[in-house]
A and B are shown apart, each in its own frame.
Chain A
Amino acid sequence: NAGVMQNPRHLVRRRGQEARLRCSPMKGHSHVYWYRQLPEEGLKFMVYLQKENIIDESGMPKERFSAEFPKEGPSILRIQQVVRGDSAAYFCASSPGRGGQPQHFGDGTRLSIL
């Protein structure tokens, strides 16, 4: 009865490197959402995906950030050429996608940029 699984829990990168964050949704959930929580700020929506489709990416920064949810395997949030300002907690949530169902969250990935 596993919940939403995110890995790694903690990730340290140097400026200019790439960060890959993974999210496996709950069993039976086909919708995945990524949120970012900056220090001392609230959770901000980034992107909403279904299998092989990006539904809403209105919260994604225009450059360096991308997300995918392939037919097989976890959803990936990819950040290229990381900068100090990317340091944050990144949370993934999933839902069955049927109307009125809550999103369930993972424990997050804490990304630190040196």
Chain B
Amino acid sequence: SQELEQSPQSLIVQEGKNLTINCTSSKTLYGLYWYKQKYGEGLIFLMMLQKGGEEKSHEKITAKLDEKKQQSSLHITASQPSHAGIYLCGADNSGNEKLTFGTGTRLTIIP
């Protein structure tokens, strides 16, 4: 099984609706990073979580790390076309700054 599982693999959401993406690790997380990637481009850093129970928000995006530090969720409120892209979670499982990435969630926003 994968060390880092993301779900769903793809998501089609009507503009204005809320959505959640999940990231589950088989190991304890020293750090959990959320990035967004547009096709053919680089990764844009969104948020970093390190402490169990931590929650961070930026504009309409909120990310949480559960108390046991093995699962994170990314929640988008009132989705917009600009939110479309591939969302990747990256895990630091050993504190050595080597990140393991999930396979990504492809988000499509429809009118």
Contact = CB atoms under 8 A, between A and B. Distances in A.
Query: In which size bucket is the chain A interface?
Result: 20 to 34
Contacts of A4: 42
Interface in B12-44: 31, 33, 35, 40-44
A24 to B, nearest CB: 14
Interface residues of B, number: 22
Contact of A100 (B40, B44, B50, B99): B50
Contact of A42 (B33, B98, B103): B103
B97 interface: yes
A102 interface: yes
A91 B103 contact: no
Contacts of A58: 98
Given A4-B42, A48-B96, A105-B35, 6 more contacts: A33-B98, A41-B103, A100-B31, A100-B48, A104-B45, A110-B40
Interface of B: 31, 33, 35, 40-45, 48, 50, 88, 90, 96-104
Interface of A: 4, 6, 31, 33, 35, 41-45, 48, 56, 58-59, 91, 93, 95, 100, 102-108, 110
